[in-house]
């Protein structure tokens, strides 16, 4: 019978600038999203591997993923996501797959398998998000991150979320992409496409939306005058 391999870890209490620290036992490995390692003990080694094939090029994740291993003795590694926000942990027990928005994966133990799930052109292009979700399955630790804080919702029936606020959800939830109001509302209300979940399961939502910040910051960008 397979058992769940679990690491000791600590997540800082700051919801805006969380940091994940994992204790690696001797000879144990952990997978970490590229460019996310902040600090590590000197005897922890790293190998970089291509992950996800051509499909990964269509996500907001790096084409590469790093594996860290504690050589000779147990070691510690600190992991920081690119966006300022919260980090959460999920233990996968091999029964129910877990789905992440493409920019939310941070790290996992080797027993967790990650694959890319095609959303289809309607759910991908029209949502403004990636064409792929990250499907996580298997046994072990999974850490994911957000932009801003995360809150969890138990969905029974239907629940509507702006597509840019979705972080993760469990299997058992189906979803479809739509809009609020008519086309006039779509272009002038400041609201985008929405995701209508149905079924029963858990949903994780982030309080901030990256695209909204980009639009806000763009107004302060200096434009070089020609001539």
What does the DSSP assignment read for 101-133? Answer: -TT-EEEEETTEEEEEEE--HHHHHTTTS-SEE
Q: Measuring CA to CA, how many Å separate 91 from each of 59, 63, 73, 117, 198? A: 24, 25, 25, 20, 24
C-alpha span between 31 and 38 (Å, rounded): 14
Q: What is the pLDDT of residue 113?
A: 94
Residue 190: predicted pLDDT: 43
- Domains of the chain by residue range: 9-218
Q: What is the pTM of this model?
A: 0.83
DSSP string for 132-194:
EEEEEEEEEEEEEE-SB-EEEEEEEEEEEEEGGGEEEEETTEEEEEEESSSHHHHHHSS--EE
Per-residue confidence in pLDDT tens, the chain, 227 aa = 456 678 999 998 777 789 999 999 999 999 999 999 999 999 999 999 876 554 555 555 556 889 999 998 999 999 999 889 999 999 999 988 999 988 899 999 999 999 887 665 454 443 445 567 889 999 999 999 999 999 999 999 999 998 889 999 999 999 888 776 555 444 444 456 788 999 999 999 999 886 655 554 666 677 666 65
The model's pLDDT over 79-97, given as tens digits with 9 standing for 90+, comes to 999 889 999 999 999 988 9
pLDDT tens, residue by residue, 135-182: 999 999 999 999 999 999 999 999 999 888 999 999 999 988 877 655
Contacts of 214 (CB under 8 A, 6+ apart): none
- According to the CATH classification, is domain 9-218 in 3.40.1030.10? no
- How far from chain centre, in Å, is Cα 136? 11
Q: What is the pLDDT of residue 15?
A: 74
Give the pLDDT of residue 220. 61
Question: Given the structure tokens 């399955």, which residue do they identify?
Answer: 137
CA atoms within 13 A on the CB side of 145: 28
């Amino acid at each position: 019978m397979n058992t769940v391999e679990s690491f000791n870890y600590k997540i800082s209490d700051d919801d805006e600038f969380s940091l994940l620290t994992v204790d690696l036992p001797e000879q144990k490995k952990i997978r970490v999203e590229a460019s996310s390692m902040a600090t590590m003990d000197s005897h922890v080694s790293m190998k970089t591997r291509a992950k996800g094939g051509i499909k990964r090029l269509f996500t907001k994740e790096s084409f590469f993923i790093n594996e860290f291993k504690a050589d000779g003795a147990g070691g510690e590694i600190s992991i920081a996501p690119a966006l300022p926000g919260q980090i959460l942990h999920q233990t996968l027990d091999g029964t129910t797959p877990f789905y992440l928005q493409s920019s939310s994966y941070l790290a996992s133990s080797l027993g967790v398998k990650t694959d890319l799930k095609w959303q289809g052109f309607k759910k991908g292009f029209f949502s403004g998000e990636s064409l792929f979700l990250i499907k996580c399955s298997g046994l072990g630790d999974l850490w994911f991150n957000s932009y801003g804080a995360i809150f969890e919702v138990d969905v029974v029936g239907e629940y509507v979320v702006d597509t840019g606020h979705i972080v993760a959800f469990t299997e058992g939830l189906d979803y479809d992409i739509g809009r609020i109001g008519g086309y006039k509302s779509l272009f002038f209300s400041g609201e985008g496409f929405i995701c209508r979940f149905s079924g029963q399961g858990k949903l994780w939502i982030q309080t901030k939306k990256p695209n909204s910040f980009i639009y806000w910051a763009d107004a302060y960008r200096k434009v070089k005058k020609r001539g």
